[in-house]
Chain A
Amino acid sequence: MEEMFFYPGCGLKSGAEGYYTSIRSVFAKLDVNVRELPDWNCCGAVYPLSTDNLIQRGAPIRNLVKARSQGAEVLYVACSMCYNVLKRAEQFAQTRQEEMKRVNELFEEYDDYSGGVEIRHISELLLERLQVVDILGTPQEKKVAPYYGCTLVRPAEFAVPPRILEDILKTVGYTTITFRNTDRCCGAYHSINRPDITRTRVTEILTDAVNEGTEALILSCPLCEYNLAAFNMVDLPILWLTQAVGLVLGVSDLGLEYNRSVIEPFTREASHHE
């Protein structure tokens, strides 16, 4: 059995438990054991854009230091925001030697870190495994649309491969829809100070998806999921990527009970039947 070093992040432990549950069971079905990085910490959720406040670099880079100390060459991330932060932090560690001298002072008990842990999104391994493992989903007409949001695809330098979510969903038998708002921001952290902005953005995204014939929205960002579910006026089923894959592969433990949106009858109809 292959093993993947896995960074869950805060989201998968609080609110997105259904994502974590389905990651474990879907990857088990694909012969991959999920090994959680011990003693991980919050990555900071947003990549620090200021270059002169180095303390903000500590949180993401500490996780890279921990991963290296465990012998990890690749660290897999599921949350879109964590993925973006850790991937950019790894590039920072590799390229900013001067600043890293200061950052490394935070981790005196470890050897200096200057990069070396590759950050990958779980969708990359998921597609690779689906292509080699002899498992086919039930071909079906269910139309699903991936919602990429922002941090999985921007900045372009750190993006997952183009259309990777469509490729995964097609591989397991879905019909996919790419809608205009697929990578337009949901309102992100505005939900605290300006929920009106989030509500407007979410309504536009969901209405667009529904108008294109989408029967379920598929995503990988816990912040998007929270916002979309909170203002889901059109009752569009919202599922984690691995839940959508698990349903058609006949995986039973998908953590569907955690979902905040109404997902029946979609999940029942999409489920794999022997």
Chain B
Amino acid sequence: MHSCVHCGKCSAACPFTEWMDVLPDQIIRNIQLGRIEEIETMTPWICASCFACMATCPMGVDISKLMNAVKEKVKLRKGEDWTRIDELPETTLREMPQILLVSNFRKYTR
């Protein structure tokens, strides 16, 4: 994380930035400055851990891992889920394949 030179290549490579309110390289800066919990961003929840950022980073920063850590710190380890399993329609649970349900629950529930 501290080796990040803020070149912005991660944000250029990310296929999801159009849905992000804070860009991936800005997330890293906020982590460095210790104010990640103050900015209340959607970005870590939009990250799909596709590793496109990591593949392009010239400094070898594992950005997906940082996004994951932010999710855990601001919500999941406080006991709050992003996906509310009990609120999902029964059709979702019945029709969607396990691979989708399990990957989503692993990323979005505590």
Question: Contact at B99–A185, with CB atoms within 8 Å?
Answer: no
Q: Is the CB of A190 within 8 A of B49?
A: no
Q: Which of A15, A49, A156, A184 contacts B97 (CB 8 A)?
A: A15
Binary per-residue interface labels of chain B (76-108) against chain A in the complex, 1 for a CB within 8 Å, 0 otherwise: 000000110000100010001111111110111
Contact of A193 among B18, B54, B104 (CB under 8 A): B104
Cα A185 to Cα B49 with chains together (Å): 9
When the two chains form their complex, are residues B100 and A226 in contact, meaning their CB atoms are under 8 A apart?
Answer: yes
Which residues of B lie under 8 Å from residue A121 when comparing CB positions?
none
B43 within 8 A of A: no
B15 within 8 A of A: yes
- State the CA gap A11–B68 with chains docked (Å): 24
Residues of A within 8 A of B50 (CB): 150, 154, 184-185, 188
Whether A81 lies near B103 (C-beta < 8 A) is: yes
Distance (whole angstroms) from the CB of B99 to the closest CB of chain A: 4
How many angstroms from the CA of A192 to the CA of B101 in the assembled complex? 8
Number of interface residues of B (CB under 8 A): 34
Q: What's the least CB distance linking A1 to chain B, in Å?
A: 30
Could you tell me if A154 and B100 are in contact, using CB atoms closer than 8 angstroms?
A: no
Q: Does A46 contact B (CB under 8 A)?
A: yes
Residue in B18, B52, B106 whose Cβ sees the most chain A Cβ within 10 Å: B106
Return chain A residues, CB-CB under 8 Å to B51: 150, 154-155
Q: How many Å lie between the Cα of A219 and that of B80 in the bound state?
A: 35
Considering the chains assembled together, what is the distance between the CA atoms of A14 and B98 in angstroms?
7
Q: Is A173 positioned at the interface, with any CB of B under 8 Å from its CB? A: no
Choice from B52, B100, B106 contacting A185 with Cβ under 8 Å = B52
Is A197 among interface residues, defined by CB-CB distance under 8 A?
yes
Residues of chain B lying within 8 A (CB to CB) of residue A46:
49, 102-103, 106-107
- The CB with the most chain B CB atoms within 10 A, among A50, A189, A200, is that of A189
- The answer to the question of B22 belonging to the interface, with a C-beta cut-off of 8 Å to chain A, is no
Q: Which residue of A lies closest to B66 (CB)?
A: A49
A191, B16: Cβ atoms closer than 8 Å: no
Alpha-carbon distance A14/B50, docked complex (angstroms): 23
The answer to whether B99 and A223 have CB atoms under 8 Å apart is yes
**Inter-chain contacts of B7 with A (CB < 8 A):** none
A236 contacts the other chain (Cβ, under 8 Å)?
no
Check A56 for interface membership: any CB of B closer than 8 A: yes
A137 CB–B CB distance under 8 Å: no
Binding site for A on B (CB under 8 A): 15-16, 18-19, 46, 48-52, 54-55, 62, 64-65, 68-69, 72, 82-83, 88, 92, 96-104, 106-108
| 11 A-B pairs (CB sep. < 8 Å) | A9-B99, A15-B99, A46-B107, A81-B99, A154-B50, A154-B54, A185-B52, A189-B100, A191-B100, A222-B99, A226-B100
